[in-house]
Structure 1
């Protein structure tokens, strides 16, 4: 049996669009003599449909288009992810059309990471279907761990997983793995659908040369990994085009620091330099070296760059506050006024250019609320908000390799030797003289990874036992003087309290483009309330200070 996989940009809710893409690929596969074409999970609807899955008019529209797929299945068999309504129960289904016959296989484990399937669907059973004297087991990626002992010749796996959440199906039998491409926005997360569909027959793999390509599989190849740069640039392009239309201008507040540099490069790669405008909005605290960085980055990327001072506006804000009777303005409030002035100007520039603003914050900054509401928290999309600072460092090196030149200035990147860091320009918000960011880079990035997986008490117990001796995070303790128990607990209490009290800021930030395996607000759900220290926490804290 000659088999191929169809991969296309599935748009959630856009049933007609999805049908037309499937129609095009079915006709192509038929013309090229394929017996079977397979599409991914939710191919007909996308999965970011929310309560439309409860809307009978929407379900009826889906059924109408699914019947048109049935009409196309003449001389070719078609498998795709669709909806099946039976006795008022809605199933996430793998649907097989073969001439005038239809077969359904229902998803069993409704535990999709990206959204709560159990709110909309009923769990069902995977089915084995006989096609051309071959037994096909129609299943889903989430059902692979619980497959029943059934006889089959070909495993057909439908998926709609994000780019960072893919794995090769580890079975001896022949396999068809069909995923989707595109983006899917669920609440405040924009997922990058991971593609990488493949076919394994007689121990030979057939794949796409580009794992995020649109089309049908025709060639032999190997399953490829998708890099951060490839996934993020793809996600930006698809999301921007689908949300705003093609050639939308993006506005970047370019400080000359690392995060805005990486954001600018991502946008230039994804959308073209002509659709990116950078603004350097300096105050009296911004150094010449970072101002020059911003100019150099724009020049090398060939993006339009404007620069100027905001100091007169900041001073006028202070004067206005004085006129209202506020004669004493704290240093902290002075910093926030600068950030909000930049946010105000970027919003005005964006309106004048008919553009949208990028949010430049990284995951560690977002977690700790190291941003000013209505200042650097603004933006249409958080492009690197799912990457910690270490991942941003890695992405910077990847960007420079992509261009084969120093786009991201080396003066922004740390030099690491024996778990010691040397900076030419240490990360700084530059909102006051000689300011440095309060984060302990690398250590806090790794601590955040632990906090997204383990309880406070579990982490303290590991430290008490051996000071993270078996973990990468333990190698950073000496550099930050955290081998002293009192220092460790002081830092841990600061980090966790700061993380908790800034939950309200995270709620007001833009949607985040997801690439990690532990996305804030989705994989890691939290309460806005402060968590009191448990008896076990207090006991472990005392023991750590006593022991170390």
Structure 2
């Protein structure tokens, strides 16, 4: 469809358009707050930036993903009230914003264009993702029509996120004669996603025959991270501008219809971050938003002197500031002096509050009370788990008393094979490294130390150990992490069968053992804290396997 604002005529229109790209961080469910933010941005874009258009992300008004909030009866009333406010309070600038909206009793993922009190164009997302972390078909009906509206004499198309991952909408844009495309996104991060998007956008710009202004939201929402990285793509597929990642940012893109040229004055493109930088930045953003959006005063974590808690502490400090972070060493008879020294040194390096609370008296009290139950039974992992659970009780007590969030420190390799203790080291509210394989933990530790000293080098260099038994190392129970992580990547993220893994060169007994550990520990992962997702398939929204199952992974 084509819509022309009544107050304009083609002869009065200039063919130059200034679009403020508003890469913002919204709060899911806070429709009034998100609406006020849109109003403030739009008025500032008009008055300070002299923009003709302000472009905002997908589902800005509700936040993304709103999940089952979309099933609440009042969602329609709240969205309609928000749209009324926008029509009343935003003048003399075209506002392009995303929201959920009912039309004829059916809910759509919408993008609307508001100008001087009128909703002058509205587009319903046509391609609804229903894979990995997405389940939009649970809520929305797909649109079936393109939207091209007139803006200062220029035919401008609207598309939303997944529409560009399919070829159909771009073909429609070309057929409709659009000269510019505005694309609203809530595209979550995983490793290498930014490069995938850039390649895709180049292809779609060439296919559509017009430039694309790609606007992505930024921020953490539970386990999802939205990395921003908004882009300006020329009609020939050239990337004119690459915006910043993992932070709110605003920039003006100037479009000249005479030659379909684009410019971003006063701004410099950024480079794609390395894997280590992007993962670390995602973790920092995830912790910051989870803590702040949920109203916690700060965080507390168990600092063991090991690599996982060392990286977690560095992330927490970078996310929240040292004054909002507390680290607790909880030594036991098997805790080495090296671990205690390194934990104390890291706390000093980063300037956090630090305490040491021995779990020996608690453990002894439990063992005394359980003496009759354990009589005649040999020591095993029960005693190791009891140590972890004593530590969990300490941290949760501090959390309750001080109103701070417990950060757990388990990595993806451990979560995959159940190398963790329910109600022990898994006790807490947010697992920073939940989707970070152990080998990548070491890489991001080195990356962080390259910025400034944050983790004692000895923590990185020493063999990893839970220190729950004398002279214990992780490799007493697990394959070498280089082997384990590659095997887990293929099995968990790419669905390789046991036969396929063996064909890749892994030892059959290792394959069978690891697969069995992954499969039988689903019950633990269901009870694990939420954590930042950084891979293409994390444990959580991505991977929904039954706990009770007779499935065998051989095929």
For Structure 1 versus Structure 2, the TM-score category normalised by the shorter chain is 0.7 to 0.9
Contact 2:21 2:56 in 1 (8 A): yes
Q: TM-score, normalised by structure 2?
A: 0.85
Q: For residue 181 of structure 1, report the CA deviation from its aligned partner.
A: 1.9
Contact 2:291 2:405 in 1 (8 A): no
- Once the two structures are overlaid, the 10-residue window that deviates more, 218-227 or 151-160, is 218-227
Question: CA deviation digits over 1:411-430, x for unaligned, max 9?
Answer: 333xxxxxxxxxx5211111
- The one of 78, 91, 99 equivalent to 1:61 is 78
Contact 1:5 1:178 in 2 (8 A): yes
Residue of structure 1 equivalent to 2:125: 107
Residue of structure 2 equivalent to 1:221: 268
Aligned residues: 497
Residue of structure 2 equivalent to 1:475: none
Contact 2:228 2:244 in 1 (8 A): no
Contact 2:112 2:119 in 1 (8 A): no
> What pairs up with 1:32-111 in 2 under 5 angstroms?
32-99=49-116, 100-111=118-129
Distance 1:521 1:454 in 2: 16
> What pairs up with 1:77-156 in 2 under 5 angstroms?
77-99=94-116, 100-111=118-129, 113-125=132-144, 126-144=146-164, 145-146=166-167, 147=169, 148-149=171-172, 150=175, 151-156=177-182
Contact 1:198 1:223 in 2 (8 A): no
Contact 1:66 1:82 in 2 (8 A): no
Residue of structure 2 equivalent to 1:2: 18
- Once the two structures are overlaid, the 10-residue window that deviates more, 344-353 or 430-439, is 344-353
Residue of structure 2 equivalent to 1:485: none
The answer to whether structure 1 residue 409 and structure 2 residue 448 are counterparts is no
Q: TM-score, normalised by structure 1?
A: 0.86
Distance 1:528 1:387 in 2: 23
Distance 2:244 2:531 in 1: 28
Contact 2:188 2:225 in 1 (8 A): yes
Distance 2:31 2:67 in 1: 14
Question: CA deviation digits over 1:351-398, x for unaligned, max 9?
Answer: 333322111000111111111111001111011101011111111012
Q: For residue 341 of structure 1, report the CA deviation from its aligned partner.
A: 1.0
Contact 2:46 2:52 in 1 (8 A): yes
Q: How big is the alpha-carbon RMSD for the aligned residues of Structure 1 and Structure 2?
A: 2.2
Residue of structure 1 equivalent to 2:35: 19
Residue of structure 2 equivalent to 1:276: 325
Distance 1:325 1:445 in 2: 37
**Per the alignment, do residues 312 and 101 of structure 1 end up closer, same or farther by CA in structure 2, a change over 3 Å counting?**
closer
Residue of structure 2 equivalent to 1:542: none
The answer to whether structure 1 residue 160 and structure 2 residue 176 are counterparts is no
Residue of structure 2 equivalent to 1:494: 513
**Per the alignment, do residues 55 and 316 of structure 1 end up closer, same or farther by CA in structure 2, a change over 3 Å counting?**
closer
Unaligned runs of 5+ in 1: 414-423, 469-481, 483-487, 538-548
Residue of structure 2 equivalent to 1:240: 291
Residue of structure 1 equivalent to 2:232: 199
Unaligned runs of 5+ in 2: 1-16, 253-264
Q: For residue 331 of structure 1, report the CA deviation from its aligned partner.
A: 2.2
Question: CA deviation digits over 1:396-453, x for unaligned, max 9?
Answer: 01210121x3x2232333xxxxxxxxxx521111111111212321111111111124
- Once the two structures are overlaid, the 10-residue window that deviates more, 132-141 or 355-364, is 132-141
Residue of structure 1 equivalent to 2:247: 212
The answer to whether structure 1 residue 346 and structure 2 residue 385 are counterparts is no
Distance 2:246 2:365 in 1: 53
**Per the alignment, do residues 444 and 313 of structure 1 end up closer, same or farther by CA in structure 2, a change over 3 Å counting?**
same
SS at match of 2:481: coil
SS at match of 1:244: coil
Contact 2:220 2:290 in 1 (8 A): yes
Residue of structure 1 equivalent to 2:282: 231
**Per the alignment, do residues 200 and 223 of structure 1 end up closer, same or farther by CA in structure 2, a change over 3 Å counting?**
farther
SS at match of 2:140: coil
